[in-house]
């Protein structure tokens, strides 16, 4: 299946986010985990905490920063997906949070701007 540019940008962003988290000492447990409520982009562990990370990537700044695309409805889907994951994995830690990683792509020779919002959705 060939990815359309938007899907390819999303996958690139998820890979960049995973690398970013791994450099901070996070262990990636799952990528693109599907639930009845939606997909969890990244599930990782840092210390005793399970972190669900929503990754938003934009190729242009014309629509504003990537993180503003997470509205109330999207946040509820992410929260429900995280709760579903925890219910399906009772052996996991009781501590968990939802982070957002915003990735703004730059021109070819400039690395993307990556911003990590910890505990962004409560």
Q: What is the pTM of this model?
A: 0.91
Indicate the Cα dihedral angle 25, 10, 116, 64, nearest 10°.
170
pLDDT of residue 64: 86
Residue-wise pLDDT for 11-40, tens only, equals 999 999 999 999 999 999 999 999 999 999
pLDDT of residue 67: 93
113: pLDDT strictly greater than 60: yes
Residue-wise pLDDT for 55-87, tens only, equals 999 988 888 889 999 999 999 999 999 999 999
Classified by CATH at the fold level, domain 5-121 comes out as: Trna Endonuclease; Chain: A, domain 1 (3.40.1350)
Encode 74-91 in three state secondary structure.
HHHHHHHHHHHHHHHCCC
Residues 6+ apart with CB under 8 A from 7: none
2: pLDDT strictly greater than 60: no
pLDDT of residue 27: 97
């Amino acid at each position: 299946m060939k990815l359309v540019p938007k899907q390819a940008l999303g996958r690139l962003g998820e890979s960049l986010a995973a690398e970013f988290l791994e450099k901070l000492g996070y262990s990636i447990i799952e990528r693109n985990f599907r639930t009845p409520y939606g997909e969890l982009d990244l599930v990782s562990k840092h210390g005793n905490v399970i972190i669900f990370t929503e990754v938003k990537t934009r190729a242009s700044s014309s629509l504003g920063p990537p993180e503003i695309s997470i509205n109330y409805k999207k946040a509820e889907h992410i929260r429900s997906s995280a709760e579903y994951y925890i219910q399906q994995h009772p052996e996991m830690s009781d501590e968990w949070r939802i982070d957002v990683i915003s990735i703004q792509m730059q021109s070819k020779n400039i690395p993307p701007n990556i911003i990590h919002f910890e505990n962004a959705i409560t």
